[in-house]
Structure 1
């Protein structure tokens, strides 16, 4: 079958317009389904740990000090350096394991036997797999509150005091307060990556980033759509070659 250039041009324009519609609908849906910024995160005693203002200020610090050039949030950003969401999620789970190990067995997590480590790890996964009730206040468990403080200390040391091994200069973030707020922002992204949406069995990010210690495993839907996307990509490339050969 021979196709004219005019017909191919119409196909390209139609594909372009369809792409705009799909991308626009995707952007609108993403905005509607965006995870909330809680007005307040409190500990088990009701004491405020972080507020929405501090989370927003942490985002501003992330932008002001160009931290997107050294890492990424939710995988969107630099192609080098750590992903802050994945790192804070891993650190949070690690510190929670340490907390529960000392609470339950009076020893460091690494000092426990395999059965005890498995029990602690399961407790952490269950703790982090809580569903969000949709309220404006998020209540941390004692282990989460402990982990939040430990991760914050790590980020203040690294991004304010400097970390030569990671290539982070001193005063990369000028004040300890701003470094703490950046940690609050990164930990907020970790929170909604492991917390289930209201009425759903999956987190706000569909269990991403992948982190078995935090209970984030690849979902069936993610695997299916990954395959579908690959098939569509290869199919579209084949269709483009076919059209080119048909002229």
Structure 2
């Protein structure tokens, strides 16, 4: 122990520093997390959703697998889409179509580029502008945006509710046919998905990046990686490689090998016989191997349903 005293103190110092940094930034993440408004209301006074409904929607999503079925904000499984990115893009395209119909009487894709640009500018301005009022705890939505939200919600209600027209989509996503049977729960699920997309599109009050640091990538509203994001990504990779290099160098040039022990003249394993307790251990080893084999088979069985969610190997 005494010969490794310096190494132990180095380990304790590293752990203390790293856990202090982890604790500090953990607190910061909690402090500056995207707000869940008490109410999301339209300009004509209609209440779309509330904090309670959004949190209920989160539990509804967790009840169907949570991060095992798609993901939120990029954290989760990959057999289904990231629901934040998927919702946001669908809502944006719905808004553009509604705006094009209101102003020109045709869908957005039918417009010339010259006529599309003003709508794209209005889209970016509306979605990136933060209308959250911390005093009243409300977010104000335009009537057009609320209509786009409701159209997007209808798609998700059909997807999670077993609409036959989306059967192939559910197969691709490894979803059960009726993923969430209760209609009220599905409604709250869509409100939770909406809130995650709202946070991904809305700029923080004190900056030019969204609450999710411009994630996901969405060209329609200029959600692009920030300079800080790129810089710290590069710095983290450089520090990781430099740290590994420092460890390799230290082990190669500062490490002193212990003297090699003198090997025995006879193999110690051949010099004794098994005791009764050691022989009894064989039954335990058999049980452990059997349980491990069962665990592997069960893991393969459950993992299969993340790829093919509606049948067992066809």
- Output the TM-score relative to the length of structure 2: 0.74
Partner of 1:186: 193
Distance change >3 Å, CA 130–CA 197, structure 1 → 2: same
| Other structure's SS at 2:186 match | helix
Query: Which one of the candidate residues 171, 183, 197 is aligned to 1:176?
Result: 183
Q: Distance in 2 between matches of 1:18 and 1:164?
A: 52
CA contact (8 A) 1:97 1:124 kept: yes
The structure with the larger Rg is 2
| Other structure's SS at 1:42 match | strand
Q: Distance in 1 between matches of 2:142 and 2:78?
A: 34
The Cα shift of 1:5 comes to 5.0
Q: CA RMSD in A?
A: 1.6
Partner of 2:36: 37
The Cα shift of 1:171 comes to 2.1
The Cα shift of 1:243 comes to 2.1
| Other structure's SS at 2:45 match | coil
| Other structure's SS at 2:153 match | helix
Distance change >3 Å, CA 11–CA 132, structure 1 → 2: farther
Structure 1 runs (4+) deviating above 3 angstroms are: 4-10
CA contact (8 A) 2:131 2:140 kept: no
Superposed counterparts of 1:124-143, under 5 Å:
124-135=123-134, 136-143=137-144
CA contact (8 A) 1:134 1:198 kept: no
Structure 1, unaligned stretches of length 5 or more?
Answer: none
* Highest RCO, 1 vs 2 (Cα 8 Å, sep ≥ 6): 1
The 10-residue stretch of structure 1 (39-48 or 125-134) with the greater mean CA deviation from structure 2: 125-134
Distance change >3 Å, CA 232–CA 130, structure 1 → 2: same
Pairing 1:164–2:167 present: yes
| Other structure's SS at 1:138 match | strand
Partner of 2:212: 205
| Other structure's SS at 2:190 match | helix
Partner of 2:92: 93
| Count of equivalent residues | 244
Structure 2, unaligned stretches of length 5 or more?
Answer: 256-314
The Cα shift of 1:133 comes to 4.2
